[in-house]
Amino acid sequence: MKKTLTALLLASVAFAGSATAAERVVNVFNWSDYIDPKTLDDFTRETGVKVVYDTYDSNEILETRLLAGSTGYDVVVPSATFLAREIAAGVLQPLDKARLPNAKNLWPEIAEKLLRYDPGAQYAVDYMWYTTGVAYNTAKIRERIGDKPITSWEQVLKPENLKKFADCGVYMLDSPEDIFSITLNYLKLNPNSKSPEDIKRAEEHLAGLRRYVKKFHSSEYINALANGDICLAIGWSGDSFQARARAREAENGVDIAYVIPQEGTLITLDTLAIPKDAPHKEEAHLFIDYLMRPEVAARNTDSTRFANGVGASRSLVDPSIAGNNGIYPGETIMKRLFAVTAPDIAAQRPFTRAWTRVKTGR
């Protein structure tokens, strides 16, 4: 009897021990190449909260998981484009502002842009923001079009122009909200249009480009550009500059440029949010608050080359990044940027089908 009791006691101590350890966890689902890895270790060292970290590279992947429920994730990073419909679907929970004292560091202009998607700023705060533009291998592009640098979508989105780069490898984001909106804008249609006729025109235009695109992918282009495997990508600003940095680090002679074309382009805000059924709410708030510390945000920007949403961090960012117009565009460029909103979830299907046809021809 005594023996059993001791065993029971020991077992319950062991159980309590592991339960306590399990409580101090935050499950984070973030975009790939979107944080300085040191941030996670530093957070754990300071708070005792272990970070279980998982990555994705498309809003569609994240949203499918959120809609299915019970993701187990505590912090997710949806683009604002998708935020309104995810809030409407009830898959996110309001943030507890009292637990986010560092929200005072947020950048007012960026926070204001977010209100369009999250009225009242209840569900999300900005993590990073960026443009969709053209990343290219300067030498390989020069070989094909001479010294004239790429400045316009015309040089990339016109079939006979894109054709010139097909032999050295072209990637495009596998992101319909990006590629449709820039194509609509190029066709002088409303980039946020949901009209079936406009989408059809964009789809037809893209069908004429498909044969010159080696791959539609939203994360592999960083290394593909850096290694010299491809010469051009329609991609995101920070990723493009990461490609440039990786090539420089490898000293492989590859030089990558990133341009925001003169016709303007898409600006997107990525946000930090907490799923409705997050198992570790308190730790989720701790983690989000940590990311809003100016020095932490600055380091994440230095590492990822994406502009962050913490205005108070800007003076701490590496001056070559804070002063880079491709990362922190000045006012003139800002005026040419447009933002879009994904359709309601119920109206999504024709867009998904159109995108599948763009990619596969079927």
Q: Which residues bind ligand N2P (CB under 6 A)?
A: 31-34, 79, 130, 219, 236, 239, 270
The three-state secondary structure class of 216 is: strand
The three-state secondary structure class of 127 is: strand
- Name the residue among 233, 289, 223, 279 with its Cα closest to residue 259: 233
Nearer to ligand N2P by C-beta: 35 or 87?
35
Minimum CB separation of residue 144 from ligand N2P in Å reads: 27
Nearer to ligand N2P by C-beta: 118 or 283?
118
Residues 6+ apart with CB under 8 A from 45: none
Nearer to ligand N2P by C-beta: 49 or 266?
266
Instruction: Assign residue 314 a region (left: φ > 0; alpha: ψ between -120 and 50; beta: otherwise).
Output: alpha
Contact 154, 303 (CB under 8 A): no
Integer Cα distance of 273 and 124 in angstroms = 5
Minimum CB separation of residue 219 from ligand N2P in Å reads: 6
- Name the residue among 117, 145, 120 with its Cα closest to residue 59: 117
Q: Strand 232-236 relative to strand 125-137: parallel, antiparallel, unpaired?
A: antiparallel
CA distances from residue 227 to 5, 48, 71, 250 in whole angstroms, order as listed: 63, 38, 35, 9
Minimum CB separation of residue 303 from ligand N2P in Å reads: 11
Per residue, what are the HEC states of 220-251? CHHHHHHHCCCCEEEEEHHHHHHHHHHHHHHC
HSE value, Cβ hemisphere, 13 Å, CA-based, for 55? 9
Minimum CB separation of residue 306 from ligand N2P in Å reads: 7
Minimum CB separation of residue 18 from ligand N2P in Å reads: 34
Minimum CB separation of residue 33 from ligand N2P in Å reads: 4
Nearer to ligand N2P by C-beta: 55 or 93?
55
Nearer to ligand N2P by C-beta: 126 or 239?
239
Minimum CB separation of residue 236 from ligand N2P in Å reads: 5
Residue with token string 């499918």:
64
Nearer to ligand N2P by C-beta: 32 or 47?
32
Minimum CB separation of residue 239 from ligand N2P in Å reads: 5
Nearer to ligand N2P by C-beta: 129 or 212?
129
Residue type, 150: I
Beta-bridge mates of residue 119 = none
Contact 228, 254 (CB under 8 A): yes
Nearer to ligand N2P by C-beta: 173 or 298?
173
Per residue, what are the HEC states of 28-76? EEEECCCCCHHHHHHHHHHHCCEEEEEEECCHHHHHHHHHHCCCCCCEE
Minimum CB separation of residue 205 from ligand N2P in Å reads: 23
